[in-house]
Amino acid sequence: MNGYTTITQKGQITLPARLRKELGLKPYKKVRVEKGKGYIKVFPVKDILDMAGTVKPIRGRDALKARAWMEKHYQRI
């Protein structure tokens, strides 16, 4: 399904409701944006590891250890 939207003066877009519903995108959920030749793709992020490589890690910290700690101390919703 394709849709149309408008870019605001702040550079924001609204994804059409039908697309959000189809992809299970809820408010405040993360998405990954990828640039191609003349187009932009938006992908839902299901897991923090889907974002690997997009965030600069803190020097001396292990992301896998951090994830293990989070899994132990926090409940998924």
Q: What confidence tens digit (pLDDT) does each residue in 1-52 have?
A: 677 889 999 999 999 999 889 888 888 888 888 999 999 998 888 766 666 6
The pair of three-digit structure tokens given for residue 32, joined into one six-digit string: 């990954």
57 falls in which pLDDT band (50, 70, 90)? Answer: low
- pTM for the whole thing? 0.52
pLDDT at 49: 67
pLDDT for the residue 74: 86
Q: In angstroms, how far is CA 18 from the centroid of its own chain?
A: 18
Give the chain's length: 77
Task: Give the sign of the dihedral formed by CA 53, CA 69, CA 64, CA 50.
Answer: negative
